[in-house]
Amino acid sequence: MNKKWMGKLGICIGIGMIFLSCQPPQQQEAAAEQTYGAAQVKVFKVRKQKISEKLLYTGVIEARKKIVINPDIGGKIAGIHVEEGDRVRKGQVLAELDTRAIRLQLEQAEAQKAVADASYRDASNNLERWERLRKESAVSEQQYEQVKLAHDAARSQLQQAVAVVNLAKYNLDVSIMEAPFAGIIAAKNAEVGDVINPLMSGFGAASGVLTLMDFSSVKIEVEVSLIDVVRIAKGQTAYLSVSAYPDKVFEGRVTVVNLAADPLSKKFGVEIQLSNPELLLKPNTFGDVTLEVSSQENALVIPQLAVLENRFVFVVDGGKALKREITIGLQDTSLLEVLQGLREGDLVVVEGNYGLDEGAEIEVKEVLQ
């Protein structure tokens, strides 16, 4: 039985092979194409439009005005009248030191000034009398000089007393900390009762009593290479984007272009300022700066992804991929200008171009815009 069934199976296989061999050549080619089908690609239709070459940088956004509020003298903090996040106006009292000792010093200085003032007036009157006697030759020159010296000493003592009073008044004034400009309290660095000394070693920007910022206008500094800095000018338009507002672009101006490179990085500092009236841009956060350095109207453009080895592309021609060498002009973040090698309306392969061979059959899956 097994031999009989094996014989029947062999006859069926043979008949199948004869049937396949009798198929027309066209059907055989179609079967081969189904096995090794044409490469599927996405293409871009070459068009004309404006293109701008842009420089991209990342930097830290900073408030245009920032100051650490700190008294000019040391002492104990008696009061802090604001909290973090408070908006303050120019001249508003923010904090103050304990001024009891300073006020006592001022009273003492004013009393000493009163004594010195009385002594000076008495010495002045005495000098006037001796000057009249001198004119009448009623006193000796030596006696007159002694009176004049006493007068000069009284005047110096009065000047010294006035200086002590002014110093006490100054210490009283600077112990009251006022806002030098309108802004927002960014940080509270001390508490009531703390003793603060602005002259102490290691005193830094994070110290002080309060940190005040005005970021209704902000700035961002970036480092630029020598090749790029020669293409950037003061007053040039700059665009800033931040992750918090992905659909919004902020416009600013280049305000500083350093002419000397940093000795370590060998790069040039460029500062951009931007208006921030709604306070959307936050200090100490990252932002991406775009500088448009040149542009070309009505340029022939293709996506950068279409270019291989920075010099050629594949063009669709009769269902096949043909290699074209091109000359590249301006480039932006995604497109580039083609100076030679393509014409408007040509279809260039954008996806699926890697690994393609000259003359390979292709099937256009999608035309990208």
Q: Residues 5-37: pLDDT tens digits?
A: 444 445 444 444 444 444 454 444 444 444 356
Whether the CB-CB separation of 216 and 275 falls below 8 Å is answered with yes
**55-84: average pLDDT:** 92
In a domain, 4, yes or no: no
**276-304: average pLDDT:** 92
**CATH number of residue 350's parent domain:** 2.40.420.20
> pLDDT tens across 101-114, in order?
999 999 999 999 99
Q: What is the model's pTM?
A: 0.63
Same domain, 161 and 117: yes
**CATH number of residue 254's parent domain:** 2.40.30.170
Same domain, 300 and 364: yes
In a domain, 314, yes or no: yes
Whether the CB-CB separation of 254 and 220 falls below 8 Å is answered with no
Same domain, 361 and 301: yes
pLDDT at residue 95 is higher than 60: yes
Same domain, 200 and 82: yes
Same domain, 135 and 250: no
141-174 and 100-135 helices cross at what angle (nearest 10)? 160
Instruction: Report how many domains make up the chain.
Output: 4
Same domain, 121 and 232: no
Residue 246 CB-density burial (10 A; 0-12 exposed, 13-18 middle, 19+ buried): exposed
The span from the CA of 19 to the CA of 261, in Å, is 81
In a domain, 6, yes or no: no
% of the chain residues with pLDDT over 70: 88
In a domain, 149, yes or no: yes
User: Residue 276 sits in which domain range?
Assistant: 56-62+214-284
Same domain, 228 and 200: no
In a domain, 157, yes or no: yes
pLDDT at residue 3 is higher than 60: no
In a domain, 114, yes or no: yes
In a domain, 15, yes or no: no
Tell which wins on pLDDT, 333 or 156: 156
Among candidate residues 154, 173, 192, the one where a domain is terminated: 173
